[in-house]
Amino acid sequence: MTQRAPEGLYPPTEEMLAEPVAPEVAAAQERRLRAVWQTRTGLGYWSSVNNSEIGKWYSLTCFAFMLCAGVLALLMRVQLAWPGIQFLDADRFNQFFTMHGSAMMFLFAVPLFEAMAILLLPAFLGARDMPFPRLSAFGYWCFLIGGIFVLGSILFDAAPNSGWFMYPPLATEAEGPGSDIWLLGLSFIEVASIAAAVELIVGVLKCRPPGMRIHMMPLYSWYVLVVGGMILFAFPPLIAGDLLFELERALDWPFFDHTRGGDPIFWQHLFWIFGHPEVYIVFLPSIAIAAMVVPTVAQRPILGYSWIVLSAVGTGFLSFGLWVHHMFTTGLPAISLAFFSAASEAVVIPTGIQIFVFLATLMVGRVTMSLPMLWIAGGLAVFTAGGLTGVMLAIAPFDWQVHDTYFVVAHLHYTLFGGMILPVMAGVYYFYPFFTKRMLSERLGRWAFWLIFGGFNLCFLPMHLTGLLGMPRRVFSYPGDLGWNWLNLISTVGAFVIAAGFLIFTVDLLRPGKPRLASRNPWKAGTLEWTDTVEGEDWGVRSIPYVTSRYPLWDQPEIVARMDAGRYYLPDAEEGLRETIITSVIDARPVQVQRVTGDAWITLAAAAFTGGCFILPTFHLYGPAVVAGLIAVGCILYWLWTSTARVPEKPMKDVGLGLRLPTYAAGPAAVGWWAMWITMLGDATAFASIVFGFFFYWTARADFLPPGAEHAVPGLVALAAAALALAWAATLGARRLNRAGRQGQAVGAVIAGMVLAIGGGGALALSVAGLAPAAHVYPAVVCALVIWTGAHVAVGVVMQAYCLAGLVFGKIDRDHDADLWNVTLYWHFHVLTVLVTAAVIGVAPHLL
Amino acid sequence: MNRIETRDDRDELLDESATLWRITAAPVIWAGHFLLCYGGAAIWCAKLGGGIGGLRLSILGLTLAALAAIAWNGWRGLRASEGVAPPELSRPEHRHRFLGRAAFLLSVISAVGVAYVALPALFIASCR
């Protein structure tokens, strides 16, 4: 076996770094790098996968969706401006508030985090690109297609109209395709979110520049890490919920139907296990922008780096213990409510800590009230107000009083404007010169700020009172004698003032002729993204630096000149391949050169057909949907086969400064393995949500299990578990045999694994063939578990077939077995899924 | 001249795994305590109903156990974060101190969280 370990010198000495690079060598390197990383022009531009292009498209798309959702809000405010008017009818109003909430959350707030992180993270880390550029592109195209589909439905009067949290039975019983559009369209986008989370987590852990140990990362990276982790645990319950919901809509399986053993409260649990952490998923990355802006404005390092890390990690955890505070009026036992009330109060502590850290940093620094700082200051003020009403709402009796009134509307807009919109605007003003090399107008920016900030308070401050006076949310009109008239009119005026502010911002953002950047670091910041030249090259960084400080531009005076000269790592692209350096998780020692994927149309095709697979079922076109799904799988397999884990032309490569790194990695050393691990963690969470459903029904319903119920056939369940466990063992065996150089036996093991898996999957399906899932929730939840497990068997078999082809055609051999490692990892998780499913459907019903 | 050390991620993670565990241990204990309190109360009230004296006692015991575990964890973190004055940032000792300190701070916040979540059991005496 080839030994693949880094060789040579590390860390570099000062003498090595001080040695100049010959100008003609540097010029030739630049020529090659430019050719490799060049963004295509013309139609080919749209096949780009470079993080800067994807990031820009992603951000602009989010912004466009935000403007659409904002227009919906304006139209609603017109309808509410005066009592009893008929500007919008009730149904259209319902569609508008549903789409306003859904679009702002799913098409703006969460994706904008992904967009900005994809755009900025590689620059913060001095990396050339994200580890999986095509995955970013795939995620973006999925988002665009899904977003247009969901938002477009409003033009056909077919939009969902049951509120953005889709409570059954209202939403399950709703006529027309609205609920299906919401479920399938947004599930599609949630998948894209998870893809982005995987990409970003691996990016933070493995793509840092050499020397940037884990306690030296820019604070933004800590937030990305926490938020990525939160997405993995928050989104899957909603995806599982969407699956159950759609099974109820399409096949009448009664998960949320009270008359047949189901429970609508179960949806509320799944939705808010997602929905509350989601608020923090939106908030943390925005406050992360503040964590980047504040030190720059104060011109000093952040005060209390570890306190920020504490508050990010602490908030991330605690935010999962709050979800029931959205359900205080559902009649849960008082003691259960009280647990969530207490946790909701506790989360204020870590959230508050970070705000105090920012204030302390500003107090000891030399603050200039630059435009980004103005937005941050406005954001902190508004967020604090929203946080205080949050503390009030966390007290259950107060919530009972104002539940579903405009008080809640005011509260949530204060938290989201203060915690997300205003800090993100700060980020746009702050980072705009980085990604466009031009400055936004200071004067227009101040106008936009005061209009948005002032308009916001004009619109939402009175709403607290409107709510306390009893006006319920989501009513399309109201009688004129309840004392709400003036308050509503003021709110409407405020909404239009906000809109004027956004109009000015949009004009400034899109107008041509903005002044070009004079120097590369206009804010005199200390982090790596500002090493980018004023011309803005496509290669990201000219050479990947060796970092010894949290603020390298402040503490390592030579770093910019040396990066520009190509003195550091990977200054060249001799092989004509896009490359970046992979480093170790804790100490960021260089371990590998990763060849990243380049521009391609296949990602777009894969996204389009994945879209078809999710969108066509909305119109009950199940046949074409299956075909689209199969083509999508084909596209993804082609993409993986042709561009990932390729056998490199040479095992080691000189990366500069006397260091040689391997060009291939397998198992835990490979980024793909980490991505699989992280993906499967999310997958396991979704599965756990369905299992939770089984026990939820058992707790909540006296008629679960129903007397005399049909069960899954125990013998077949046992057979399926045994066969699938053997399939796992065969897959693991294939990996070991291949490593031992016994390719022939490895091929045999993979084939045996496939046969066993198919047989096991068949036995599992047969074991529930006699059940009638539409009759009662018990057989329905059993069948849902079988569908989930069966789909994973199918994916597992495709993966085994991929490895089989790899072994036969030489993509996988003794020295290059990354694919086998990843597939085995999948099967580790899968065999656990199988065993849990077998226990729940085969054993638990006989014990409970 | 420093030769690059040829050890892989797993060794490095093993090195720091103790501290890494300590960072997540306290919030995980909080999460476990929270889920047991919530799940325990839900099942107790759904299946047994009536008086919740036993439930409250169990929550008390659980809380004391969780607080003890967090305290031990925090103390270990504090120990790791003490020692000589901070050397330059790029030394491994500094990373070790940072991880210890983060573990300690997270233990404090988790202990507060556990205490908060236990409070309802002190005041509420029935399922309704």
Q: Do A216 and B99 touch (CB under 8 A)?
A: no
Q: Do A548 and B23 touch (CB under 8 A)?
A: no
Q: Which residue bears the tokens 């397998």?
A: A666
Burial of A47 (0-12, 13-18, 19+ CB in 10 A): middle
What is the mean pLDDT of the segment spanning B38-48? 87
Paired residues of A7 in beta bridges = A660
> How far apart are alpha carbons B27 and B22 in whole angstroms?
9
Which chain A residues contact residue B94 at CB under 8 A?
213, 215
Instruction: Tell me the two tokens of residue B42.
Output: 């839900």
Q: Do A334 and B88 touch (CB under 8 A)?
A: no
> Chain centroid to CA A186: how far?
13
Torsion from C-alpha of A263, A268, A273, A279, nearest 10 degrees? 180
Single-letter code of the amino acid located at A304: G
Which chain A residues contact residue B105 at CB under 8 A?
306-307, 310
Distance of residue B83 Cα from the nearest chain A Cα, in angstroms? 17
Single-letter code of the amino acid located at A343: A
Nearest to A689 by CA among A271, A333, A275: A271
Whether the CB-CB separation of A576 and A22 falls below 8 Å is answered with no
Show Cβ contacts of residue A773 under 8 Å, excluding neighbours closer than 6 positions: A251, A253, A779, A780, A782, A783, A784
Nearest to A752 by CA among A737, A770, A736, A734: A734
- Mutation site for A-interface testing, chosen from B13, B34, B47, B52 by largest number of A Cβ within 10 Å: B34
Q: Mapping DSSP to helix (H, G, I), strand (E, B) and coil, where does residue A476 land?
A: coil
Q: Do B4 and A8 touch (CB under 8 A)?
A: yes
Which chain B residues contact residue A216 at CB under 8 A?
89-90
> How far apart are alpha carbons A39 and A355 in whole angstroms?
40
Number of A to B CB contacts under 8 A, please give it: 159
- For A:209-228, CB contacts with B below 8 A are 211, 213-216
Q: Do B119 and A10 touch (CB under 8 A)?
A: no
- For B:58-87, CB contacts with A below 8 A are none
The sign of the CA dihedral A556, A561, A564, A565 is: negative
Which chain B residues contact residue A346 at CB under 8 A?
112-113, 116-117
Q: Mapping DSSP to helix (H, G, I), strand (E, B) and coil, where does residue B61 land?
A: helix
Which chain B residues contact residue A314 at CB under 8 A?
27, 106, 109-110
- For B:93-112, CB contacts with A below 8 A are 94-95, 98-99, 101-102, 105-106, 109-110, 112
Show Cβ contacts of residue A268 under 8 Å, excluding neighbours closer than 6 positions: A165, A167, A326, A327, A330
Instruction: Tell me the two tokens of residue A468.
Output: 């306390």
Angle at the Cα of A818 from the Cα atoms of A209 and A679, rounded to 5 degrees? 75
Please report the pLDDT score of residue B1 as a whole number.
44
Cβ neighbour number for residue B49 with a 10 Å cutoff? 12
> How far apart are alpha carbons A267 and A180 in whole angstroms?
15
CB nearest A699 (choices: B42, B101, B126): B42
For residue B17, pLDDT over 70 is answered with no
Distance of residue B19 Cα from the nearest chain A Cα, in angstroms? 11
Q: What is the DSSP string of A638-671?
A: HHHHHHSSPPPSSSEEEEETTEEEES---GGGSH
CB nearest A215 (choices: B2, B20, B95): B95
Paired residues of B3 in beta bridges = A9
Please report the pLDDT score of residue A57 as a whole number.
96
- For B:1-40, CB contacts with A below 8 A are 1-6, 8-10, 12-13, 15-16, 20, 23, 27-28, 30-31, 34, 37-38
Q: Do B116 and A343 touch (CB under 8 A)?
A: yes
Cβ neighbour number for residue A535 with a 10 Å cutoff? 9
> How far apart are alpha carbons A86 and A99 in whole angstroms?
20
Nearest CA in chain B to A660: B4
Alpha-helical regions (H) of A469-569: 485-510, 552-555, 559-565
Instruction: Tell me the two tokens of residue A721.
Output: 């578990």
Q: Do B8 and A339 touch (CB under 8 A)?
A: no
Q: Kindly list the distances between the CA atom of residue A591 and the CA atoms of A79, A268, A813, B3, in Å, as whole numbers in the listed order.
A: 61, 46, 21, 13
Q: Which residue bears the tokens 């949050």?
A: A390
CB nearest B109 (choices: A215, A314, A333): A314
Distance of residue A557 Cα from the nearest chain B Cα, in angstroms? 16
Nearest CA in chain A to B112: A346
CB nearest B106 (choices: A314, A332, A340): A314
CB nearest A585 (choices: B13, B23, B98): B13
> How far apart are alpha carbons A818 and A815 in whole angstroms?
9
Q: Do A586 and B15 touch (CB under 8 A)?
A: yes
> How far apart are alpha carbons A443 and A508 in whole angstroms?
10
Q: Kindly list the distances between the CA atom of residue A697 and the CA atoms of A237, A326, A327, A776, B6, in Å, as whole numbers in the listed order.
A: 16, 20, 17, 11, 53
Instruction: Tell me the two tokens of residue A304.
Output: 């209390």
Secondary structure element (H or E) that encloses residue A748, with its range: helix A743-767
Q: Mapping DSSP to helix (H, G, I), strand (E, B) and coil, where does residue A580 land?
A: strand
Which chain A residues contact residue B9 at CB under 8 A?
584-585, 591, 668-669
Q: Which residue bears the tokens 């005076």?
A: A557
CB nearest A336 (choices: B31, B41, B126): B41
Distance of residue A550 Cα from the nearest chain B Cα, in angstroms? 8
Whether the CB-CB separation of A423 and A375 falls below 8 Å is answered with yes
Whether the CB-CB separation of A591 and A664 falls below 8 Å is answered with no
Instruction: Tell me the two tokens of residue B83.
Output: 């020692």
Show Cβ contacts of residue A73 under 8 Å, excluding neighbours closer than 6 positions: A100, A495
Count H helices and E strands in chain B, helices first: 3, 0
Alpha-helical regions (H) of A108-177: 110-124, 133-152, 170-173
Instruction: Tell me the two tokens of residue A723.
Output: 């066969």
The sign of the CA dihedral B7, B10, B16, B18 is: negative
A550 near B CB under 8 A: yes
Q: Do A591 and B9 touch (CB under 8 A)?
A: yes
- Low-confidence residues of chain A: pLDDT under 50: none
Which chain A residues contact residue B117 at CB under 8 A?
321, 339, 342-343, 346
Cβ neighbour number for residue A461 with a 10 Å cutoff? 16
Phi, then psi, of A365 in degrees rounded to 5: -95, 180
Burial of A542 (0-12, 13-18, 19+ CB in 10 A): buried
Angle at the Cα of A479 from the Cα atoms of A473 and A480, rounded to 5 degrees? 115
> How far apart are alpha carbons A529 and B61 in whole angstroms?
51
Cβ neighbour number for residue A123 with a 10 Å cutoff? 23
> How far apart are alpha carbons A615 and A153 in whole angstroms?
12
Which chain B residues contact residue A211 at CB under 8 A?
90
Whether the CB-CB separation of A238 and A270 falls below 8 Å is answered with yes
CB nearest A548 (choices: B90, B92, B123): B90
Nearest CA in chain A to B52: A335
> How far apart are alpha carbons A280 and A337 in whole angstroms?
21
Q: Do A335 and B120 touch (CB under 8 A)?
A: yes
Nearest to A179 by CA among A197, A194, A164: A164
CB nearest B27 (choices: A214, A309, A317): A317
Q: Kindly list the distances between the CA atom of residue A159 and the CA atoms of A78, A149, A425, B39, in Å, as whole numbers in the listed order.
A: 20, 10, 29, 37
Q: What is the DSSP string of B88-128?
A: -TTSHHHHHHHHHHHHHHHHHHHHHHHHHHHHHHHH--B--
Nearest to A605 by CA among A613, A597, A596: A613
Torsion from C-alpha of A643, A647, A649, A650, nearest 10 degrees? 130
Dihedral-angle region of residue A404 (phi above 0 means left; psi in -120 to 50 means alpha; beta otherwise) = left
> How far apart are alpha carbons A13 and A236 in whole angstroms?
47
Q: Do A10 and B46 touch (CB under 8 A)?
A: no
Q: Mapping DSSP to helix (H, G, I), strand (E, B) and coil, where does residue A804 land?
A: helix
pTM for this prediction:
0.94
Q: Do A586 and B90 touch (CB under 8 A)?
A: no
Q: Mapping DSSP to helix (H, G, I), strand (E, B) and coil, where does residue A170 land?
A: helix
Which chain B residues contact residue A587 at CB under 8 A?
12, 92, 95
Show Cβ contacts of residue A631 under 8 Å, excluding neighbours closer than 6 positions: A609, A612
Distance of residue A702 Cα from the nearest chain B Cα, in angstroms? 9
Task: Identify the DSSP state of A155.
Answer: G
Secondary structure element (H or E) that encloses residue A8, with its range: strand A7-8
For residue B85, pLDDT over 60 is answered with no
For residue B76, pLDDT over 70 is answered with yes
- pLDDT bucket at B6, cuts 50 / 70 / 90: low
Distance of residue B45 Cα from the nearest chain A Cα, in angstroms? 7
Strand order of the sheet with strand A652-656?
Answer: A7-8, A659-662, A652-656
- For A:317-336, CB contacts with B below 8 A are 317-318, 320-321, 324, 332-336
Distance of residue B68 Cα from the nearest chain A Cα, in angstroms? 19
